[in-house]
Amino acid sequence: MTSPMHARKAKLKTHLISAKAKLKHNVTPRRVVLLAAAATSAFLLVFTLRTLHSAALRGARAGAAGATAAPAAASTPPAAVADAHHADDQQEQQHHHHQQQECASKVPASVAEALVHYATSNETPRQTEAEAGAAARVLARRAPCGLLLFGLGPDSALWAALNHGGRTLFLEADADRIASARAAHPAGIDLQAHTVAFQQEAMTMTTPSDGDLLLVALRNSSDCAAAASPAKPLAPDHLEQSPCALAPRGLPAAFYEAEWDVIVVNAPVPGAIYTAGVAARARRPGTGETDVLVHGVDGTAEESLARAFLCEGYLKEEAGRLRHFSIPSHRDKDAMPFCP
């Protein structure tokens, strides 16, 4: 016969087993996750309320402290008040200067329009990444500067944008190409372009060997060599009346108005390369060297042409079809040879 105590234990055990079964049935992983999320939300709500309450208390205490200090401020000496105003003025000026710096650091409108122009253009670039990169490094070092370019093309807006704040002048033999370039250019870029004429007879080269002989003869001739190393600043009559077969005709007044820090020849035309060398050698003494970039060197004839008149000793870098020369001033240096 079962005692009452054993009966109660058996009944309690039965209840525990039943409760455990119900708990196992009701407490699923999904409900555990929901319960944890609810607990977390409640904790964040309580924490936010306490933070806001603390901030309100601090604000009230600060207001009370300000009200208490107000009578003392009335007795502040005039000199202290003046110093406080001076400090405020300095702070305002610093803020204004900071705003000016922020405005100055914005992308110029001409550069932004050039970026949009190339982003929406279907024109094929005339330069490879290596060639454009070599030229961009030169301009990054010299800009804003005096930039002279022989030839117009799809990359004209790029040159003007890279030389933002400097003076950029294009010289082109084809007047129709100037009109087309102006029509295609972004409105924010002022395209300073002028026509120039090169003497065609100087470009006649039947074979590479004939071309080399012609180049050597022209470079060593007294007519071309004397004009290529001027003893005084360039003037219109220096090239317009030169008997050298490579001297151009019709150079604009703007060509003579500036010291050209960087000269880009977009096509290795003999007259353009010769003129680039003349302008570089005529640079004012003590103003540094002139970087001359020749693009479009596709064969031995162009290679010989560039090295003959810009000098292999002045060659600094080769990147694809681009040649970078750095030419010092020859002015007032009668004993200085045409090439080092």
**What pLDDT digit, counting tens, does each position of 242-265 carry?**
888 888 889 999 999 999 999 999
pLDDT of residue 45: 42
Which residues, 6+ apart, have CB-to-CB distance to 141 below 8 Å? none
Calculated CA dihedral for residues 194, 139, 126, 193, nearest 10 degrees: -10
DSSP 8-state class, residue 203: G
pLDDT of residue 53: 46
The dihedral through the CA atoms of 328, 330, 336, 340 has a sign that is positive
Pairing mode of beta strands 167-172, 146-150: parallel
pLDDT tens digits for 98-119? 555 544 456 666 566 656 655 5
CA distance 219 to 274: 9
3-state SS class at 81 = helix
pLDDT of residue 134: 93
pLDDT tens digits for 129-162? 899 899 999 999 999 999 999 998 877 888 888 8
Conformation bin of residue 165: beta by default, left when phi > 0, alpha when psi is -120 to 50: left
Superfamily of domain 128-327 in the CATH hierarchy: Vaccinia Virus protein VP39 (3.40.50.150)
pLDDT of residue 105: 53
Mean pLDDT in consecutive groups of 10 residues from the start of the chain, 340 residues = 63 64 53 44 44 49 48 50 58 59 56 61 72 92 95 83 91 90 74 85 47 61 72 82 86 93 90 92 90 90 86 95 95 80
Centre a 10 Å sphere on the Cβ of residue 117 and count the other Cβ atoms it contains.
Answer: 20
pLDDT of residue 69: 44
